[in-house]
């Protein structure tokens, strides 16, 4: 199996690149952000609870997202692999994911970390907010908070995979196809 953690700050282009990667490598896309927005749209108890955090640019509690991912992995065990997008976002989530995957003998192959400068992130997120209407992308202070939370809680997850020799940093500036080619090169070497 090919199991990829696609990593990077909000606005790094994870969703855009994940869509291209799953098409090429036929992987199952697991985006905690997309799953949470689905719950929110369906007004489930989980969605209503998660919205309180998402609207502030805070992280949804670990046990909630870990449970969501575990059930999705269980539903797709026959696949060619998974691409994890927006997860793990804390070291506790990374440890939980390792446990789930080790239990099934399907370890993470590689972490691809998209590196993008902060000014570019804010610009991309505000642009996406206008196009998609996503409320957490329309307010500069919510965006700033998400980047702050990324730096304090999420960036350390890189060290977790670096210690396992699985981290590959990819320049996330340039055209969508240029970045995609860099990612494919890293995947093919992994």
Give residues in contact with ligand ADP (CB under 6 A): 10-11, 32-33, 36, 53-54, 57-60, 65, 86-87, 89, 93, 136, 146
| Active-site amino acid positions | 14, 89, 128, 134, 146
Smallest gap from residue 115 Cβ to ligand ADP (A): 14
- Alpha-carbon dihedral of residues 74, 75, 78, 81, nearest 10 degrees? -80
Structure tokens at 167: 């981290």
Alpha-helix runs per DSSP H in 26-77: 32-41, 45-54, 62-75
Q: Identify the three-state secondary structure at position 18.
A: helix
Alpha carbon distance 79, 73 (integer Å): 10
Specify the residue, 3 or 93, whose C-beta has the smaller distance to ligand ADP: 93
Specify the residue, 18 or 110, whose C-beta has the smaller distance to ligand ADP: 18
Sign of CA dihedral 138, 46, 90, 83: negative
Smallest gap from residue 167 Cβ to ligand ADP (A): 18
Specify the residue, 31 or 187, whose C-beta has the smaller distance to ligand ADP: 31
Alpha carbon distance 79, 34 (integer Å): 20
Smallest gap from residue 76 Cβ to ligand ADP (A): 18
Specify the residue, 170 or 189, whose C-beta has the smaller distance to ligand ADP: 170
For residue 150, count other CB atoms closer than 10 A to its CB. 21
Q: Which DSSP state fits 153?
A: I
Smallest gap from residue 25 Cβ to ligand ADP (A): 20
The closest alpha carbon to 11, from 168, 152, 116, belongs to: 116
């Amino acid at each position: 199996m090919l199991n990829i953690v696609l990593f990077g700050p909000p606005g790094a282009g994870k969703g855009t690149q994940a869509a291209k990667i799953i098409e090429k490598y036929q992987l199952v896309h697991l985006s905690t952000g997309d799953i949470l927005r689905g719950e929110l749209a369906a007004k489930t108890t989980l969605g209503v609870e998660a919205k309180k955090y998402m609207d502030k640019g805070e992280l949804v509690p670990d046990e909630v997202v870990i449970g969501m991912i575990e059930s999705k992995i269980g539903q797709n065990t026959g696949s060619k692999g998974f691409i994890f997008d927006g997860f793990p976002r804390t070291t506790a989530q990374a440890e939980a994911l390792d446990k789930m995957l080790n239990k099934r003998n399907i370890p993470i192959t590689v972490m691809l970390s998209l590196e993008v400068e902060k000014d570019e992130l804010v610009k991309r997120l505000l642009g996406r907010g206008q196009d998609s209407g996503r409320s957490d992308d329309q307010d500069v202070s919510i965006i700033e908070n998400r980047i702050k939370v990324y730096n304090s809680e999420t960036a350390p997850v890189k060290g977790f995979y670096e210690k396992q020799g699985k981290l590959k940093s990819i320049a996330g500036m340039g055209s969508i196809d240029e970045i995609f080619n860099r990612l494919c090169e890293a995947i093919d070497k992994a």
